[in-house]
Amino acid sequence: MAAPVSQPPVAARASTRFLPRRIGALPESAPASLRFSVGRRRRAARLEVKASGNVFGNHFQVATYGESHGGGVGCVISGCPPRIPLTEADMQVELDRRRPGQSRITTPRKETDTCKILSGTHEGMTTGTPIHVFVPNTDQRGGDYSEMAKAYRPSHADATYDFKYGVRAVQGGGRSSARETIGRVAAGALAKKILKLKSGVEILAFVSKVHQVVLPEDAVDYETVTLEQIESNIVRCPDPEYAEKMIAAIDKVRVRGDSIGGVVTCIARNVPRGLGSPVFDKLEAELAKAMLSLPASKGFEIGSGFAGTDFTGSEHNDEFYMDEAGNVRTRTNRSGGVQGGISNGEIIYFKVAFKPTATIGKKQNTVSREHEDVELLARGRHDPCVVPRAVPMVESMAALVLMNQLMAHIAQCEMFPLNLALQEPIGSASSASELAPNLS
């Protein structure tokens, strides 16, 4: 009698039953949803391939695309309300504030960053369909990055992109380049416009620190500071005296091929009450995520921030009072316009810290892609300090957050009649009348 054939344990059979016999490499032209066969029975399985980390927002949704030295960069905006006046000029104003080569303290790369709206508008009005904005790259110098193809720039994304993907676009940092923010700024320009039309929201940011030059807290009045004051100098600090000190600090490291960091302060005025949701979608949490998604950002604080830990509760609390118009207000604003994760109608203000630019013109020790210790002298064109050009980026991300939260609030809390004893409708008579001719 033949000996019985031994069988693997049941657990082993279960774990190996559906192992794939063969899975081939997928071509670049493969569709997003694929079918492939696995196991001896060649059962059909479904693999969903989704873009990861390139989309911001749930209601006013922005997907950015493109790389530093590719054909161009841009965004696709979904969820924009229809019948909003929009032309390329509306976006170009903000893109010009962000573009490179605008002064001696920014990167010398020459790009006009001229945008083109390819879809989503008709005769100067949004149609409610996806808005595609495209900006071509015109001043690429791929040869400047030959050294970076072989060695990792310290504190740059070169190494981590290799660790994650096993491949990267070397020229200009690829997707990690700040040119990705063009799509954010274009979308932010539209969000700013809608926020202004709907409820009079005004978002302004300015440089409040460069290296060790710190603008005093009381030097800027958040109630009255203007865009004209901020844009009056190349560093975008509304105080002329401190602006000169900041420019001098940047010039000092620029000529040595080094870099420095700084802080951008952002304020949002006339923000409606009620924006933000407990628990995981608190307004300050959404703002923090948005700001820390910006290139080179390293810190975020809102209201009193870390300094608030120096106070007692009785010192820190913002006491309420009734103003002359019968509105509930706070006498102080250490909360930064947000309490319990929800806007309270006061000015929202926060700060974003940016590290020194990683790519510098000084020789540094690093490691090659072949895992050898080497020295690197990086070339290319880079900002000696990112904060002057980060100002419109911070404003844009704040606008995208507030736009999403505004749409979420209206959808949830204004679907049915309000409790007017406690709630206020979004929008005002003045903003409605301003928009009305465009909605006819």
CATH code at position 354: 3.60.150.10
- Measuring CA to CA, which residue among 399, 390, 400, 402 is closest to residue 237? 390
pLDDT confidence of residue 3: 53
Is 59 within a domain?
yes
Task: Evaluate whether 356 touches 250 at the Cβ level (below 8 Å).
Answer: no
pLDDT confidence of residue 194: 98
Write the pLDDT tens digit of every residue in 36-93: 444 455 555 565 555 578 999 999 999 999 987 778 999 999 999 999 999 999 999 9
pLDDT confidence of residue 14: 42
Is 310 within a domain?
yes
The dihedral through the CA atoms of 403, 405, 408, 414 has a sign that is: negative
Is 433 within a domain?
no
Structural domain of 323: 55-414
pLDDT confidence of residue 37: 44
Other residues' Cβ atoms within 10 Å of the Cβ of residue 98 = 24
Q: Looking at this protein, which amino acid is placed at residue 258? A: D
Is 10 within a domain?
no
Q: How many domains does the chain have?
A: 1
| Measured distance CA(214)–CA(368) in Å, rounded | 38
- Residue 270, class by beta-carbon neighbours within 10 Å (0-12 exposed, 13-18 middle, 19+ buried)? middle
Which residue did the predictor score with more confidence, 101 or 94? 94
Express as a percent the part of the chain with pLDDT over 70: 82
Q: Is the pLDDT of residue 429 over 50?
A: no
Write the pLDDT tens digit of every residue in 361-415: 899 999 999 999 999 988 767 789 999 999 999 999 999 999 999 999 999 999 9
The pTM is what? 0.85
| Measured distance CA(249)–CA(440) in Å, rounded | 52
Residue 213, preceding peptide bond in cis (omega within 30° of 0): no
Task: Evaluate whether 183 touches 175 at the Cβ level (below 8 Å).
Answer: no
Mean pLDDT of the chain: 86
Average pLDDT over every residue of 11-32 = 45
Is 392 within a domain?
yes
Q: Is the pLDDT of residue 128 over 70?
A: yes
pLDDT confidence of residue 344: 97
Task: Evaluate whether 198 touches 275 at the Cβ level (below 8 Å).
Answer: no
Residues 6+ apart with CB under 8 A from 427: 198, 199
pLDDT confidence of residue 70: 79
Is 437 within a domain?
no
Phi/psi of residue 181, nearest 5 degrees: -75, -5
Is 17 within a domain?
no
pLDDT confidence of residue 112: 83
In angstroms, the first-to-last Cα distance of the chain is 93
Is 19 within a domain?
no
Write the pLDDT tens digit of every residue in 211-238: 999 999 999 999 999 999 999 999 999 9
